[in-house]
Every structure is written in structure tokens, then in C-alpha cells.
Amino acid sequence: MTSSTEDIRAAARLLEAGKLVAIPTETVYGLAADAGNPDAVAAIFTAKGRPSNHPVIVHVARDADLSRWASEIPQEAHRLIEAFWPGPLTLILPRAMNVPLAVTGGQDSVGLRCPSHPLAQALLKEFRSGEGGLAAPSANRFGRVSPTTAQHVIDEFGAPGTGPLAAVLDGGQSDVGIESTIVDLTRLATHGPVLLRPGGISTAELERVLGCAMSTPDTAAPRVSGSLDAHYAPHTPVALVASSMLDEVLRHLAQKHRHVALMAWSESSATRLAALTSLRMPADPQAYAHMLYAGLRELDAERADIILVEQPPAAGAWQGVNDRLRRAAFDSTGVLDKLLA
């Protein structure tokens, strides 16, 4: 059920009163609080179990006055905003003095995003008459799979009133399905624009608009929890397997009577899928991303010994998907070998 205008108004009042509200965006659902209220922002970190030195993204309404949040808005930012806002792109800019340190994780920069989901936009317009900002990380416990439906959020935090959430707005299944692309523009003179996290918008699209190559992060880059090696992980171990190896691995696991959940995308995997707890994924990167987190949650619920994921193609359009799968599998290194032993 999609939330009504009345629900949106009520959510805005709760947020203005310092409460936490889960909101739909086109990427994933966010756990939102008033970005101008340090206590409300602190409650996000408590609910998620997230370290307090990790910054959160500030979501703003279309045509918001960005000087309230950023002390400097370079040409590059204007070009990216023109091309991709509202949409799945977060810009890291030098923070304005009055932005609470709770939002920036104590850093000098602030992450800004203008989401395109109509419900998120309606809420941002209603909240503090469009003049405010909503701090919102993905609405999942720290390190876990991001939610792409209102039900996923309730599975994580409980129904409104029973846990940390005052309300959950329902905007249907998130379109993009993986988190926003993050571009750091705080060190242009020395590093150029830096891609901190691949996502809904590809490197090729960014480079076309900026007219220059994107750099990759160095050790001095701002902290991004989404770039921790282990993140986005289900409870069941995850192993990535090349298409060419899939048959052999499945045969060996069957011999050992292992309970396998399979996530596969290629044409040739169709016959294997029939025999297993499995999910047929689209062969198109955008459609795959749209289904990814719901798929991981569904397979996780099988409580299998392992979730085998057929490695998607390496092409640039798959960058965001491959990034999330690699991190989801990171903590499970060695598990497949043990199950095969």
C-alpha cells in the first residue's frame, strides 16, 4: 500500500519533532531524521548500530538552497546536478559551518543528494517547508543488506511504534535497487572528481558530463562505510562463482549433501535452476540491480549452507552490482572451500 498525502504530512511533523521515519527513495529505503537536529541524527546511529564517525547523506528537495549545507559549490557540482538531479547521485562537498558534526562524522565535508522518488520529494517539500534536509543512511542494520521495500525495513527494525521507527512510508519497490553513486568533489585541485562508490549512475555517464576521467579513492579519501570490504552481507555466507565453474561446483556440493541457494543470470543456468533453491536473475545490469537485495534477502531466508552467486559480466555497466556482490561475499572467503572439503 502506497502512503497517502496525509501519511506524508504526518511523517514530516514526526521528523520535525526529532523522530525517525523510514522513507522510500529510488535507490533503497532510507532511515531519515532531521539533519539539523544532532540528537535525532544520533538516534539513527543507535538504531543502525553504526559507528558514530561514519557520515550520513543529507537529502534535499529539488531546487533547495545548497549554500545552507555546502560552503563551496564548484562548476563540476553544477554540471552533475544539472544532469543527474533529482536522481541516484550523491555529491561530497565542503561542509557549511552550521552542518552538525553528527551528520558529517566529524569531517569537513557533507554528502548531498536530491532523490527522485516522488514520495521522497513530496516529503522533502513538506518537511520544514522544503528548507530542511533529511539525514538518511540505508534503513538496515550496519553492514547488512539494504532494504528495497517497506516490508524489508519492518523486518529490520520492527513495525512503527514497536522499535526505533515512528513511521514507515511505503513507496513500493525501489526502482534502482542499489545505493546512489557517490562522487567526491572536495579535492578537485589535487585529485579531480573521485568515484567513492559506484551505483545507479555509471562512470561512463559521469565522465561524459564532466569531460574528464574519474579518479579512484586513495587512503586520504573521505570515509565511506559502503566502501568497507565487508558490507551489504546476508547472514548466509555468499560465494561468487564464474559461469564456467558453476556446474562443477554444484556437482561437488551435491555430493557433499550441502544445502545450496543459487542466484544465476545466464541462459545456460536455466536447467540447474530447476533443481535447486534458486533465483533466476535478469541478464540486464539495471534489471539485475533492481532485484539484487530482495533476491539476497529471499535466498537468505532459506537458511542454506551457502548462497552461490553466478559472477555477472565484468563490463562497466555492471560496476555497481559487482561492487555490492564483492562486498557481500567478502566475509565468506574460504567458506566454499570448507563446504567442498
22 phi and psi angles, rounded to 5 deg: -85, 135
Residue 182 interacts, among ligand TXA, Mg ion, none and using kind-specific CB cut-offs from 5 to 8 Å, with: ligand TXA
CA-CA-CA-CA torsion for 67, 69, 70, 76, nearest 10 degrees? -80
Of residues 25, 236, 278, 319, which one binds ligand TXA by CB under 6 A?
A: 25
Of residues 90, 121, 278, 319, which one binds ligand TXA by CB under 6 A?
A: 90
Q: Which is nearer to ligand TXA, 178 or 306 (CB)?
A: 178
Q: How many CB atoms lie within 10 A of CB 38?
A: 16
Which parts of 177-196 interact with ligand TXA (CB under 6 A)?
A: 179-180, 182
Of residues 12, 14, 28, 114, which one binds ligand TXA by CB under 6 A?
A: 28
- What's the closest the beta carbon of residue 56 comes to ligand TXA, in angstroms? 5
Asked if 80 is part of the footprint of ligand TXA (rule: CB under 6 A), the reply reads no
Of residues 107, 121, 149, 202, which one binds ligand TXA by CB under 6 A?
A: 107
Instruction: Determine the Cα–Cα distance for residues 241 and 236; give it in Å rounded to an integer.
Output: 16
Of 260, 331, 252, 322, nearest in space to 289 by CA: 322
Residue 87 interacts, among ligand TXA, Mg ion, none and using kind-specific CB cut-offs from 5 to 8 Å, with: none
Q: Which is nearer to ligand TXA, 56 or 309 (CB)?
A: 56
Of residues 36, 132, 177, 226, which one binds ligand TXA by CB under 6 A?
A: 226
Of residues 138, 202, 269, 278, which one binds ligand TXA by CB under 6 A?
A: 138
Instruction: Determine the Cα–Cα distance for residues 235 and 300; give it in Å rounded to an integer.
Output: 7
Of residues 20, 22, 47, 110, which one binds ligand TXA by CB under 6 A?
A: 110
Distance of CA 300 to the CA centre of its chain: 18
Of 2, 23, 9, 59, nearest in space to 160 by CA: 23
Q: Is the peptide bond before 86 cis (omega within 30 degrees of 0)?
A: yes
Burial of residue 3, with CB atoms counted within 10 A of its CB: 0-12 exposed, 13-18 middle, 19 or more buried: buried
Q: How many CB atoms lie within 10 A of CB 251?
A: 10
Residue 222 interacts, among ligand TXA, Mg ion, none and using kind-specific CB cut-offs from 5 to 8 Å, with: ligand TXA
Q: Which residues bind ligand TXA (CB under 6 A)?
A: 25, 27-28, 30, 54-57, 90, 92, 104, 107, 109-111, 113, 115, 136-138, 179-180, 182, 222-226
